[in-house]
Amino acid sequence: MTKKKVRDIFIRESKGTFSVFGKQGVSKKDYDFSGMHALRQLLSNEKARILHAIKIQKPKSIYQLAKMLNRGFKAVNDDLKLLERFGFIEFIEEKTKGRIRYRPQIIVDSVTININI
């Protein structure tokens, strides 16, 4: 049985506003979401569609994922970079016919959001 990988997101109230950042023990600059707006962007419906497509359809490249989602390559690539930055996915480098392509792969099983007031 494989160990379940969980991404923890901590939200703390500070001076009447919420401050959001990821795992404890990791520097704030790596996981600072700059407030609730950034958290909403990270957990948007489009990001959920991307994660679902990666999990179920297992695209072989970013381009193939963009085609599956009927979205532009740049928009999907930008969303993937954000998901990678916060530890939801990683890219697997594959060489085919002299070209390098990056296959997105989910590296977490669940996300836990903790709110401290």
What is the reported pLDDT for 49? 93
Of the chain, the end-to-end C-alpha distance in Å amounts to: 36
Q: What is the pLDDT of residues 3-40, one digit of tens each?
A: 678 777 776 666 665 655 554 444 444 455 555 666 77
pTM of the complete model: 0.75
- Give the residue with greater pLDDT, 52 vs 12: 52
**Residue 90 burial (10 A CB sphere; 0-12, 13-18, 19+):** middle
pLDDT of amino acid 12: 67
Structural fold of domain 6-116: Arc Repressor Mutant, subunit A (1.10.10)
Predicted confidence (pLDDT) per residue in 61-111, tens digit: 999 999 999 999 999 999 999 888 878 899 999 998 889 999 999 998 888
Task: Dump strand ranges (E) for 6-109.
Answer: 6-14, 17-21, 89-96, 99-106
pLDDT for residue 27: 47
